[in-house]
Structures are given as C-alpha cells and as structure tokens.
Amino acid sequence: MEIKFKTKKLERELSDPRKLVKSFGVLSKKINQRLKEIDSAATLEDLGKIRSTNCHELEGKRKGEFAIDISGNFRLIFNPDHIPTPRKNDGGIDWRLVERIEIISIEDYH
C-alpha cells in the first residue's frame, strides 16, 4: 500500500531510524515492523489478513479511522487516503479497494 503521513514531523519520525528510536524508544522495532507490513500489503484487506496487526475500524468520534496494534495499548492510527472513500453497498468501507493510507498518529487512545 502507498503510505502518506498527516504531518512532515510524523513522516520524519517514522522514516528515519534514529528519529524513530528517539521518538518511540522500545516501540520503534514494532513500529518499523508494522510499517513494513503496511508497505508489503497491496490493500487494506491484505493487511487485515496479518493476524498480528489486529487491523480494525474505530468507532464513535474516530469512525472512518483504522488502527493496528503496536504494543499493549499503543496503536498506529490511519485512515484511507481516497476521495471518496471506497464503500460497500451497505455503507461500510470496502477494504479490498483501499490501496493508499494516511498515517495520523501512534498513540494510546484507550
């Protein structure tokens, strides 16, 4: 999948191994692994098939966003980078057609 970043700062933190370690410490190894998994997946559906990611849609005020597990409560948060977002007939997001994402943050939203 094609990956974009919400901010230039986030892009620098996640693209430079030294900045990744400086910003996220012990989480940096797992974040790097997840970024590689996202990059190697052709679609969101493919990413969802990787059980360790626990890729899932968020609800409530975060509806339309997705999360994958990093560690404990930490998640990598992203949204589909399509206008309009691909939808199924029932109104849900069509994971098969999502080929681009925008990473929003890495956080503990619990």
Domain chopping of the chain, boundaries: 2-108
Cis status of the peptide bond prior to 84, with omega within 30 of 0:
yes
Query: What does pTM read for this prediction?
Result: 0.92
* pLDDT tens digits, one per residue of 66-80: 999 999 899 999 999
Under 8 Å between Cβ of 99 and 45: no
Write down the pLDDT at residue 80: 97
2-108 under CATH 3.30.70.360, yes or no: no
Q: Is the pLDDT of residue 110 over 80?
A: no
* pLDDT tens digits, one per residue of 8-21: 999 999 999 999 99
How does residue 91 score in pLDDT terms, banded at 50, 70 and 90? confident
CA 80 from chain centre, in angstroms, equals 9
At 32, is the secondary structure helix, strand, or coil? helix
Q: Is the pLDDT of residue 57 over 80?
A: yes
Closest C-alpha to 24, from 36, 37, 10, 38: 10
